[in-house]
């Protein structure tokens, strides 16, 4: 298969497996999504969805969030890990949203990435899932699978994102990146991929990826 043929196969199979893909992080608007994505760094979506109701019961908008102290936020979000950095980021970006953006989450990559604790991936998720703007957030699941499937030779998520955007139609980006994440979690996890389950890798994977599956 050519790289384009492999990409088309991925699109076809993921649409068959996941015709309707929910957003993994529970949220009610772009602000609560932004906070949830920030908390998800080095933390599972399941854990984030357990913690955000506790935080949002106290503050689910920037006006209420800035009334809390860093220590109060940190104590609530502690189970998500990296709580000192995340709590400062949540308070800092809430102040910026109020002072620079009229209390609303800005709809631009540049403005989002200018906020504390908000990197390109977080901004991409918010633009994609919060505002419907085409974006292709690349996490470790997507990077791993794009490499396994021979769709990128990127050494990091930045290079992999560029390759994904070249390969896949723009109108599919917002759904497809979620479909790949769901497939990675269900069929091709990082630590224990299984030959009998990961059929996309068996079909189109690189020789190295297939060899790894066989050893499992």
Q: Which residues are catalytic?
A: 121, 139
Residues 6 or more apart from 95 whose CB is under 8 A from it? 62, 66
Alpha carbon 61 to its chain's center: 21
Cβ atoms of 41 and 207 closer than 8 Å: no
Q: Alpha-carbon distance 149 to 146, whole Å?
A: 5
Give CA angle at 130 (61, 147), nearest 5°: 130
Task: Output b/e per residue, 96-127; b: 16+ Cβ within 10 A.
Answer: bbbeebeeebbeeeebbeebbbbebbbbbbbb
Q: Alpha-carbon distance 14 to 98, whole Å?
A: 40
Please name the helix (run of DSSP H) or strand (run of DSSP E) that holds residue 13, with its range, or none: helix 3-17
Cβ atoms of 11 and 172 closer than 8 Å: yes
**DSSP annotation of 25:** S
Q: Alpha-carbon distance 127 to 9, whole Å?
A: 27
């Amino acid at each position: 298969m050519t790289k384009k043929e492999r990409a088309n196969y991925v699109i076809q199979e993921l649409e068959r497996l996941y015709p309707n893909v929910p957003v993994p992080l529970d949220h009610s608007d772009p602000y609560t999504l932004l906070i949830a994505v920030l908390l998800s760094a080095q933390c599972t979506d399941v854990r984030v969805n357990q913690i955000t109701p506790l935080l949002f019961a106290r503050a689910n908008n920037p006006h209420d969030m800035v009334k809390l102290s860093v220590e109060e936020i940190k104590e609530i979000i502690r189970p998500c890990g990296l709580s000192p950095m995340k709590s400062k980021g949540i308070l800092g970006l809430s102040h910026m949203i109020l002072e620079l953006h009229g209390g609303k989450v800005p709809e631009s990559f540049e403005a989002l990435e200018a906020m504390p604790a908000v990197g390109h991936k977080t901004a991409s998720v918010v633009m994609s899932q919060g505002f419907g703007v085409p974006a292709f957030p690349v996490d470790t699941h997507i990077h791993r699978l794009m490499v396994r499937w021979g769709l990128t030779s990127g050494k990091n998520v930045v290079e992999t994102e560029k390759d994904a955007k070249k390969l896949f139609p723009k109108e599919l980006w917002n759904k497809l990146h979620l479909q790949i994440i769901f497939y990675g979690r269900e069929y091709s996890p990082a630590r224990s991929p299984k030959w009998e389950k990961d059929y996309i890798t068996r079909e189109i994977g690189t020789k190295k990826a297939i060899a790894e599956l066989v050893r499992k």
